[in-house]
Structure 1
């Protein structure tokens, strides 16, 4: 799936020997042990195998080679599905919030301008990949990739793949033109990234609380949980939408517009330690927007749905109320000093 931030149209990778005979024998033995345990083998599913060294290298969630195969398979299948908007085919490699957005893209595809349709059908690849593979643990089933997408003239993107059932699928995909949005990720001496428990407090907030904090910007204008968020371009845009809706409503002032926080379709949060000691978190978002005719106009007027609203489910009957659902995914940088939402991709996924 191609994505663009805040859009409702396509978004579209040595021992030394000494002369002494006894030391030579000891070093040869050490070399043999190192050769046995220095790198993980893969099982049939691409998972790291067991180590036999006295000081084993820790296993990642999967090997880099296996991660590459997962991303390659996603590219190939996604490109095939996008050509004909085959949601069932796409679902074999995609899940989570990302797939909620893709399904809506396919449903509304015929309402897009021809140029956007052609761009969406164009095959793409992820280039200059940097694999961010956490250490294997009972609670860590995912890995991430920083890359550039050939779609969008090399826009940088952060991709998250998680196991859905027994299959790795892409569950989040966040694009950015902002260099600060993708800080350097911390790695241990084995090259493994550090996954962070999303319930861990960082400063005044946990990664799991980012969803409610962001949605509060739409629902109350930031009077509740949203107070914990630093001012960024993303939060400013959300607050502008709230204030404009409160003041102007819709239908030339004949209707009110209200936002209500909703549970995301997929609630999982992904977090990585940054080289500076902070946390980079990818989190879900969701809200509904209710457009309601004021009582004085209900006997003489009705709301007219857009082509996209029709494609997403609005019936043909006249109505005084339209409810639009948005599902999203955001990227935040947390430190002891601040919680900054750097990117947000909200998609209009349902209308009723």
Structure 2
């Protein structure tokens, strides 16, 4: 995943309103792994040594693929929402500014020595998490990311089995400590797993609800964090205020994986990365006589997806979002601490 798309992003408001950009993210845990070292390495879903190798290889291949925008090579190290967002970025590259293009090729590093690995016992899950610093030219000091790597066993198109990065989130502040058992292993929570009153998979539909209804159903379960306020604002601004004759609506869409991955925290809650998608449709209001939507301020859409056309009658975009959240054990609301949004298609 290119580093261009892992920081705060601003998108210009136009007659057909583009969603406000947001925070991106990545991940991890301390280098100690209890009995994952030495003779008991096979007791984890992956050994600590192999997990470090996965992280090193991810950085190496990712940096190389970003320079040439090699989607096939990226598919050997990424899957799910992460791959969907990376491939969309590669496609959109020709319409980016020179500065954005340069930033997308700038090498980065995830220092393995200081990374923290959250590794479940063998048989408990098919994924592990990494909490890692991110370093490189132009990258602010102290930034950390949480990444989920998932074991893929049947992806022939991407070179067969292997570990793929599937979602990522920016770690801000001090997240709750991930719980470890006496052997140093973590307790994973998958999409069907329940924490407090919610199954983690429910985060997908509830997050979409903020876009579709403004949060009529989801507000009861989510704290009003900056990320949630962004999602509510997108719903409120779906008919652009700058043009009274443009209408709009959101619907659920595909984010690329549409699932959730969590690790239990010491308080019984979970640190969770998940993804979801939304579709955003715009059209001219009937009371204004309908008419075409002007796309002159949306080069990525007009040049990349619409063959250079600068006006359309109806425009539908799909956005993929990866979010990082702290899910409480009970009695409190879900805290979405950041998200990364990427246009993945337009028609």
For the criterion TM > 0.5, the same-fold answer is: yes
- Taking the TM superposition and a 5 Å limit, the aligned residue runs for 1:194-343 are 194-246=187-239, 248-249=240-241, 252-297=243-288, 301-304=292-295, 306-316=298-308, 318-335=311-328, 336=330, 337-343=332-338
Asked which structure has the greater CA Rg, the reply is: 1
- Taking the TM superposition and a 5 Å limit, the aligned residue runs for 1:40-119 are 40=40, 48=42, 59-119=43-103
Q: CA deviation at 1:40?
A: 2.8
Say whether residues 1:184 and 2:168 are aligned partners: no
Q: CA deviation at 1:62?
A: 0.8
Q: Cα deviation per residue 1:42-98 (whole Å; 9 max; x = unaligned)?
A: xxxxxx2xxxxxxxxxx1101000001111111100000111111111111111101
Q: Take 2:245 and 2:203, find their aligned partners in 1: how far apart are those partners?
A: 34
CA separation of 1:299 and 1:263: change in aligned 2, threshold 3 A:
closer
2:23, 2:339 within 8 Å by CA — same for their partners in 1? no
Q: Take 1:298 and 1:320, find their aligned partners in 2: how far apart are those partners?
A: 12
Q: CA deviation at 1:268?
A: 2.9
1:79, 1:121 within 8 Å by CA — same for their partners in 2? yes
Equivalent position of 1:33 in the other structure: none
2:209, 2:217 within 8 Å by CA — same for their partners in 1? yes
Give 1:174's match in structure 2, choosing from 160, 166, 169. Answer: 169
Q: Pick 1 or 2: higher relative contact order, CA cutoff 8 A, min separation 6.
A: 2
RMSD: 2.3
1:217, 1:238 within 8 Å by CA — same for their partners in 2? yes
Q: CA deviation at 1:280?
A: 1.1
Q: Take 1:260 and 1:300, find their aligned partners in 2: how far apart are those partners?
A: 23
Q: Take 2:281 and 2:105, find their aligned partners in 1: how far apart are those partners?
A: 33
Q: Take 1:311 and 1:170, find their aligned partners in 2: how far apart are those partners?
A: 30
Q: Take 1:94 and 1:38, find their aligned partners in 2: how far apart are those partners?
A: 29
> Can you give the 5+ residue segments of structure 2 that lack an aligned partner in the other structure?
10-20, 26-30, 32-36, 154-160
TM-score by length of 1: 0.81
Question: 2:237 aligns to what SS in structure 1?
Answer: helix
CA separation of 1:231 and 1:5: change in aligned 2, threshold 3 A:
farther
Q: Cα deviation per residue 1:153-190 (whole Å; 9 max; x = unaligned)?
A: 242100110012221011111123x214x321111111
Q: CA deviation at 1:120?
A: 1.6
1:249, 1:256 within 8 Å by CA — same for their partners in 2? no
Q: CA deviation at 1:328?
A: 1.4
Residues 278-287 or 299-308, more deviating: 299-308
Q: CA deviation at 1:107?
A: 0.9
Q: CA deviation at 1:343?
A: 1.4
TM-score by length of 2: 0.82
Q: CA deviation at 1:296?
A: 4.3
> Can you give the 5+ residue segments of structure 1 that lack an aligned partner in the other structure?
14-36, 42-47, 49-58
Q: Take 2:118 and 2:301, find their aligned partners in 1: how far apart are those partners?
A: 38
2:196, 2:269 within 8 Å by CA — same for their partners in 1? no
Q: CA deviation at 1:316?
A: 4.5
Equivalent position of 1:44 in the other structure: none
Give 1:132's match in structure 2, choosing from 107, 118, 128. Answer: 118
Q: Take 1:236 and 1:272, find their aligned partners in 2: how far apart are those partners?
A: 25
Q: Cα deviation per residue 1:212-266 (whole Å; 9 max; x = unaligned)?
A: 11111111011123432111111111112211235x456x222112111124321
Q: Take 1:95 and 1:179, find their aligned partners in 2: how far apart are those partners?
A: 28
Q: Take 1:308 and 1:239, find their aligned partners in 2: how far apart are those partners?
A: 25
Q: Take 2:229 and 2:291, find their aligned partners in 1: how far apart are those partners?
A: 37
Residues 121-130 or 305-314, more deviating: 305-314
